A and B are shown apart, each in its own frame.
Chain A
């Protein structure tokens, strides 16, 4: 009994892009407004989960050929690395800094903070863990 799920698939092709775009916006807006790495990562996983609902597991794994366990490891390394970075400047562990730089395209006085890198680590860990859990449960017969 196979139903024709053309409407779901076609809507997914559009909607998942919107969800992932919004999740990246949430990730970058976390410094001054509500948002950040955790909710951004969860929302990216939500977009990928919609793909998993519309298509099957093998198709999505061929589209996004990441080993999500390695994604978790990368995120943890990033967060740890930003923590260790403070030690090189005789500051305590996890001291974050920021500076204003004159970048060519982004305009003058662009604020760049190392907290963003820490947040990126959080983001990767959340995406990796969510997708690992979902795929592990989905694969088990």
Chain B
């Protein structure tokens, strides 16, 4: 990914040399030309085309914001309810992501969406221990996280 971005910047600089114009506009035009060239030659690279990765990153961000709003709304309902009807508990979430930054991102996203809170990681980085405010069904909670956040993170780092 970084190699492709570097190549794209080099193509944009070349474009500025050809035009003999040293401003942001010429650079942007050259960058667009570079995107088109890289898209046509994308099968030469061992990794996938980097615009796809950018789209995946934006999708992850939007998904996180939507989940944040939804989860905060549910916590608001819990807070203003006259009787307490929570069932707290801790469950283990087996991880599929392996890299350090992926685990950090997943753990922080789980913590920032209220109702769930990462308590600990196992020593071999394969299990997250999560404290949930409301455990109806453990498998449902695990599947929920796996299908939303973990899938989106895997999509970014694929």
Contacts and interface: CB of A to CB of B under 8 A. Distances in A.
SS class, residues of chain A in contact with chain B: helix
Contact of B122 (A4, A7, A9, A10): A4
Interface of B: 100-101, 103-104, 107-108, 118, 120-123, 125
A125 to B, nearest CB: 35
Interface of A: 3-4, 6-7, 9-11
Nearest to B108: A7
B128 to A, nearest CB: 10
Contact of B120 (A4, A10, A11): A4
Nearest to A9: B100
A9 B99 CA distance: 13
A3 B122 CA distance: 9
B121 A7 contact: yes
A20 to B, nearest CB: 19
A3 B120 contact: yes
A10 B121 CA distance: 13
B125 A10 contact: no
Contact of B123 (A4, A7, A10): A4
